[in-house]
Amino acid sequence: MGGEGDGCAPDTSSGPVFVPFTLPGERVLAAGAGERRELVEVLAASADRIAPACPHFGTCGGCALQHWAHAPYLAWKVERLAGTLARQRIETEILAPFAAQPGTRRRVALHARRGTREAARLGYKARKSWDLVDIEACPIADPAIQAAIPALKRLAAPLFEHPKSAPTLHVTLTPAGLDIDISGVERRSGGLSADARVLLAERAAAAGFARVTLDGEVAYQALSPQVRLGPATVTLPPGAFLQATPGAEAAMAGFVTQAAAGASRIADLYCGVGTFTFRLAEIAPVHAADFAPDAIRALTAALGAAPRLKGVVAEARDLVRRPVLAEELKKTDLAVFDPPRAGAAEQTAELARSSVARVVGVSCNPATFARDARALIDAGFTLERVLPVDQFLWSPHIELVGVFGR
């Protein structure tokens, strides 16, 4: 299997050939030229081939691997993770992975295109195309999101007053209901008219949505979209980042807090709205930092009502341009970092210089994690163990949490 989830025939006369929707050991007929071909027919199927769960599989660009049985699919992801670490000369204990189940995604991004006055077309981009697959179901998403698809199509219909508008609905399921932040509505012409805003609010109310925002500006709100993060209840800023599934968040947080046991002072870097902060603050005082001011404001606002905390100091800080320095970490014995896909090279360099005894790295990109891990290892750390996390089901994507000790 290739890195993007395509089957690979490595030894053809013209070099390796990649074919989507194929599996190891299969014999297939493929069409096209060059390195990437298209599947025409499976001539001899693998015993690991299964029926896909979604009627849109194959045309929708969201999933690549619904045709593969779960056990070999998951083993391949873990093997890829081990290979990525090996390219940085890193060997470690890789634990049994956490695997998300279908119907557990609480956060999806749905693209909208002009339809009728009553309902837009709504779904995901097609494979290798800017075209839209207008979905009726999405088996990765929580049933509450799936059930709301018709109402979301109605909500999106008034967004097309300007021909250049290409809205995306960033949908997050919270205990209060769906929180929807809409981006991609053309604003240079003045944005949505008053009539369109009224219609948007009416349709949000009819659907029972908690909140609808346009690029962070509230267009409708009935309830405050709040989530529970350990002992704290946090009101989410529009478009806030959360782990994609509650189960993955719980598995990651449990692993992080287990590694933090016995710490006396903790740094939580790239803390977001406090996914780990509040749980860590039950163990020891926490210095929390993140580049997003709205996330820090949400975290800080939740502190007063959260019980059993040892203390949290939170700051909005660009950890690329202004990482927390080794000198600022003199009294810190545990650091946690959870950066975007680009990794935490600048912050890792300061951790490598510091006297911090233990580091926990959370990553959505094994390649940048391996790069950052190499810097820590070269400074005297050991990567003791890694938890793989598969929360983007049926994609080639794998995440991880790694524990480092001196």
Residues 157 and 113: their CA atoms lie apart, in Å, by 8
Say whether 271 is catalytic.
no
The Cβ-side half-sphere exposure at 116, using a 13 Å CA radius, reads 4
Instruction: Give the orientation angle of helix 194-207 with respect to helix 149-156, to 10 degrees.
Output: 170
Place of tokens 């027919």: 41
Looking at 54, 138, 271, 364, which residue is catalytic?
A: 364
> Long-range contact list for 259-266, CB < 8 A, 24+ apart?
259/334, 259/358, 259/360, 259/403, 260/284, 260/334, 260/336, 260/358, 260/360, 263/333, 263/334, 263/358, 264/333, 265/331, 265/332, 265/333, 265/334, 266/332, 266/333, 266/334, 266/335, 266/336
The Cβ-side half-sphere exposure at 86, using a 13 Å CA radius, reads 7
Enclosing H/E stretch for 143: helix 143-147
Residues 324 and 318: their CA atoms lie apart, in Å, by 9
Per-residue tokens: 332:
């810190």
DSSP line for 112-131: EE---SS--EEEEEBTTSS-
CB atoms within 10 A of CB 311: 11
Q: Which residues pair with 399 in a beta bridge?
A: 389
Query: What does each C-alpha distance from 315 to 2, 70, 254, 267, 276 come to in angstroms?
Result: 41, 42, 24, 11, 15
Residues with active-site annotation: 364
